Amino acid sequence: IAQLSAERNLPKEVILAALESALVSAYKKDIFTREQDISAKIDPNTGDIKVYIRKVVVESLIDPHREISLDDARKLRDSIQVGEIVEVESTPRDAGRIAAQTARQVVLQRLREAEHRVIYEQFAGKEGEIVSGTIQFIQPKQIYVTLGKGEAILPFSEQVPNERYHVGQQFKFYLLEISQGVKGLQIIISRSHPNLLRRLFELEIPEIHSGVVELKAIAREAGHRSKVAVSTHQEGIEPVGCCLGPRGVRLQSII
């Protein structure tokens, strides 16, 4: 568990829950029936596995897979009554072997889902912000970009005409959309969105970030030219000079 947590950069609790869920799927496939309400619990310190079946306490036993007689239930807990639910330990003798043989793929799937949840929570609600990423690989209609642990798509429609892209290049992107659907996690980014330039000015120019200089308007033709109108109400401040910086250094960092 500790090793998986370190490798996947996920909390141990997430790994543990994924493993327990995977074991339930494996045991239902190989030993128990799908109708049985089972749970698996792993001791995080020892790695010991215990499997429990939840059963309804009844007077007369009809379905032994989902029911337990009152007499048998009271061997587990004296005060239990008809209609209550009791967990009956039913750990298979070869629980460890089954776990190793059949749970691997399910575990990997659960871990992927857990990773997607962590990434989604990292970016959710941040549409409209600037993110830094590295180009991972290029296809004719879209480019895949790594954003830390996440992966984003730069569609052809959001690329800048005449801007050349190469694997390994780093760019700043506008976070356009993040969604969690049937196909999994999807992050859409842009290099041509009109607000990309605005957000870059806000990030790179301290006077704009603080409100001393105001961005009045931006006209952008992605890949060709852009015009930015700035102003200030504070005496002694040259708004255009603030944006350019010494020898145009600030503007170059944005371009």
Domains and CATH numbers, the chain: 2-120 (3.30.1480.10), 124-190 (2.40.50.140), 194-254 (3.30.300.20)
Q: Tens digit of pLDDT per residue, the chain (255 long)?
A: 777 777 767 778 877 888 888 888 878 777 777 778 889 888 888 878 898 999 999 999 999 888 999 999 999 999 999 999 999 998 877 766 766 665 566 667 777 777 888 888 888 888 989 999 999 999 988 999 999 888 999 999 999 888 899 999 999 999 999 988 777 788 999 998 888 888 887 777 777 777 777 777 676 666 566 677 777 777 777 777 766 766 655 656 555
From residue 240, give the alpha-carbon distance in Å to each of 16, 160, 233: 56, 25, 13
Question: Quick check: helix, strand or coil at residue 18?
Answer: helix
Using only C-alpha atoms, what is the Rg of the chain?
Answer: 29
Report pTM. Answer: 0.57
Among the residues of 31-92, which ranges form H helices?
Answer: 70-76
